Every structure is written in structure tokens, then in C-alpha cells.
Amino acid sequence: METKDTAIKHPLSYKRDKIEGNYDVIIIGSGLGGLTTGALLAKEGKKVLVLERHYTAGGYTHVFKRRGYEWDVGVHYIGEMHRDTLLKRIFDYICDEPIEWADMGDVYDKMIFGDDVYDYKKGIDNFIQQMKTYFPAPEDQEAIEKYVDLVVKTQRSQKNYFTEKALPNSLSWVLGNKMRKAALKYNKTTKEILSEITQNKKLIAVLTGQFGDYGLAPEKSSFMMHAMLAKHYFNGGFYPIGGSSVFYERIAPTIVKKGGQIYTNAEVDEIIIKNNKAVGVKMKGGQAIHAPTVISSTGVINTFNHLIPKNIIQQNKMDQLLQKVKPSIGHVCLYMGFQHSTEELQLKKPNYWIFPDNYDHDKNINDYLENPDNEIPVVYVSFPSAKDPDWDNRYPGKATIDIITLADYNWYKKWEDKRWMKRGDDYNEAKEKLAQRLMEKLFRYEPQLRGKVDYYELSTPLSTKHFVNYEFGELYGLDNSPERFNQKALRPKLPIKNLYLTGQDTVSCGVGGAVASGLLTASGLLKKNLLSKIM
């Protein structure tokens, strides 16, 4: 049923607005996986209730504002928006109004090792030719071509692997292993796969420079994940015009116009399960809300450890999965604001990936995690005000920069029980020290920015835990290791009747993974091939 008032308010606040009426589906979490699932179900006639514990909806797609600036917290660029791709079609289908995309140009990523800079150019042929200019030796040129071919083959091999996740258990039992086999052939570490085609340490380091986009270095990451990510960007990077908040703004109306609703400040305490069947949720504060179907978009570890009673987890042997997967690493992000325009500051669109000059990602990460005073292993720099053509309309004469690096949650654990913004001088001093180190990395390559910073703020894994509710401040949910991709149990349908998962843990990290998870969850729940309908 479509509501008559298409301007119905959303999101509502659970602190002020009572949840009334009946719903077909409750979705816990308003990240992109939950919103995609909700929008697809709404378009199939389901009345959907989305519950978000944060005061802002959108998960990692939300923006935060401070001192007259705005920063994206999780969406820095997206691939596959250059033509009529599957991802673009899904967005067009679930959005009430289409999202417009800005092309980042011919170069979308710059890999920087000391004084050496390697451009990632848009277009597979352009990428190959550009890499060959950096590595002219015949054996390296052959390895570059093999690498690109392998990335494409690996990514194509995954179609049946992910389709299998939406099958009913009976079909999965019969067809599952066969459908997963082709993709799992490449489920070795990225370093292991690349070492089969080249021994050039520098070449491997340059080709794997985007590892920060999935949070795991070459010796530990699955090449399945690396191939998904690399292929995703081969045709360039794109940015949503208007900033990452447009994801929520465009998708949410699809849910509410069909009678659904989205609530913020709505923390779910427990999923109500009777006779091994999900029948609703219990809110923090005690209110019970019932619905025939419950979907968790809060991640596997959160769902299993905090939302489902322990005895039911053990009864369904779901605790076995938790023993085989682990959370990804945490991160810190430095948000910088300038009282100068992007043009005045000479900022460009490509992202910077800044590394030590020894071309050894794994060693650098290991050394850093052992002692955070060691060299920072990767510094990612994004220029959102340069990427967004609408920025100057919203914030004339201003510019922003995001700087991100890895961080161990344990470094900040001693402050975890203290309140946000009130964690003490020693916490602020630790943040300030790291903020200065990160700014120095930026100033080396953009010296004109020195002395022009108007405002900056550093978030830690504690911030991520506070706002996004990941237990260890992890950015990417589960570790993207070979062990993770071996787990057949990482699928939308849980052993508990009428209980489903959605979000990056069921597919892969990132925008594409979250959207794909929504498609798989909705398709499996409805027992419909929504992909064919969308296409």
C-alpha cells in the first residue's frame, strides 16, 4: 500500500514518536545493506520498519557536521557508475529519485611510496599501459597483463558463489558446493596469488595498494576480496553528487511511501525468538514490537553476541561460525576543514595512498601494530570537497579533507568505559599526537595546506564503536580473509525461522557488497529472482 502523503516525515525518533501499527518486516540497522533490503521488500508490497540506534540514519553513508563543515564518514568513492552496470541499475531501482554521480577523472587513486608516485588510470587498457610505464621490464609487463586478466577472471567466477547464498537450504545442500567451487579456486591470500605471477616486490606492493579499502594486507587478505575491489574500480571512481547523505535521502522514501517507517534513537535489546522462530524485537526500555520477519543489518558478531539469546545460538550451533571468523581491524579518521575554497587550495579529485618507501605492506603493518610509534603503514587521503560538484553550492569558500589509517582497538581500550567527548586529557593528547603525524604526511605532498587548517578532529575506534556499534571499532565488519570466504554459513538465512542477515558480512565490505547483500537477502526471503526484475 502506498501512502497518500508522500511527504511523510522520516526518520522519526523513538524518543519522541511512538511506534504504531503493524509491520511485515523489522530491519535492525539503517546502513546501506538494511536500506537496500528494506527498499526492495517495500517495492514488493512489504511494510517495513527500520530501527536505528544512532541519532542519524544511514550507517556508514551518513555525514557528520561540525563548525560549519561536513564530512562523509564511510563513502569516499564508488566504482561501476560509468554506464548501465548492475550496481547502478540497483540504485536506480531502489531510489525514489536517481542519484547523480560525479566522475573523478582519468586518475582515481595515486599510490605514493616516498618520492615515487604511481597513478591508477581509468579503463583497463589505460591501467595496464600506465603500469607498464612504471615497470618496463618484459617480465613485469607480462605479469601486469596476467594480473589484470586474473582479477577479471576471479571476479567473474564469483557470480554463482554469491547466488548460492540466496538459495533455500534444501537446494544449497544439493548445489552449494558446485556453485561455490569456481570462486573458491582463487580463495588464497593475495600475496600467494600474486607471487605465482611475479617476484617483483615493488610491483606487488603497487598492485595491492588499495588493500586499505578492505582492511587487510596481502599476506592475510583473500584474493577473492582483492579481485572484487580492484575490478570494481578498473573503470574509474565516482562520487555521489550532494555527498554521501544522498543514499539515505533517496532510498528512504521508497520505504516510507509504501507504508513503512524508519526510527532513529531506537536501540534493539534482543530479537524475540519463540520455538526457534523470530517473532519480533524487544527494545531497550522493554517495549516489544512484533512482526512475521526480522532482519539484522548490524553484523554477524553483533547479532550473534548481543541480539540472540546465548542458549539459542548454541542450540542452532551458530557459535561454531563465530569461532571461524574475526572482526576486521579498527581505524582512525582525521577530519580537516579549511576556510578556503577547493580551487584556492589547489585540491584535486584523486585519492592518495601514502606508504613507507620500502614497498612491504605486511611488514609495515606488523611493525606498526606492535608499536604505534613506528612508521604509519598506510595513510589514505580523500578530498570530498573536490569530488563533489555540488559542494560549493552548500559550503562556498570552504574545503574538507579526510585522512584515514589503521588502528588497533586495544590502543584505546583503557578509555572505552568513558563517555564520548569526555574521555580525559590523556586520551585527547594521544589523539592530538596522531593527528599531527597524519597532517605531516599530507603536508609533505600538499605543502600549500600548511598553516591553513581551520578545524580538525580525530575519531578513533572508540568513536566507531559509539556511533556504529561495532564492538572493536572495526570498519569492515568481518576480516576479509580466506577463512571468512570459506564459511558457507555466512548467508542471509539463519537456522532460526524467519530470521535473516543483511549487510557487508553476508557478501563483502563496501558499498557494492552492502547493496548486493540487500539484493540477496530480499531475493531469498521472497523466494523471487529480483535481479531479473531489476535488469
Q: What is the pLDDT of residues 157-215, one digit of tens each?
A: 999 999 999 998 888 889 999 999 999 999 999 999 999 999 999 999 999 999 999 99
Q: Looking only at Cα atoms, what is the longest distance across the chain?
A: 68
Among candidate residues 384, 386, 364, the one with its CA nearest the CA of residue 376: 364
Give 333-362 pLDDT, tens digit per residue: 999 999 999 999 999 999 999 999 999 999
**Nearest to 491, CA basis, from 506, 476, 508:** 506
**Confidence check: pLDDT of 4 > 60:** no
Taking only the tens place, the pLDDT of each residue in 448-503 is 999 999 999 999 999 888 777 777 888 788 999 999 999 999 999 999 999 999 99
Domains (range + CATH), the chain: 12-98+242-325+479-534 (3.50.50.60), 123-236 (no CATH), 329-348+383-468 (no CATH)
Side chain identity, residue 399: A
- Which residue is listed with cell 611493525? 367
Predicted pLDDT at 148 = 98
Q: Please give the average per-residue pLDDT across 90-101, as a whole number.
A: 96
Q: Which of 59, 42, 68, 53 is nearest to 14 (CA)?
A: 53
Q: What is the pTM of this model?
A: 0.95
d(CA 76, CA 384): 7
Residue pLDDT, tens place only, 35-59: 999 999 999 999 999 999 999 999 8
Residue 392: CA atoms inside 13 Å, Cβ hemisphere, count? 9
pLDDT mean across residues, the chain: 95
| Separation CA 241–CA 300 (nearest Å) | 32
Measured CA to CA, the distance from residue 346 to residue 356 in angstroms comes to: 25
Which distant-in-sequence residues (6+ apart) come within 8 Å of 54 by Cβ? 30, 62, 264, 265, 467, 468, 469
- The rounded percent of the chain whose pLDDT value lies above 90 is 89
**Cβ-Cβ contacts under 8 Å for 451 (sequence gap 6 or more):** none
d(CA 189, CA 480): 10
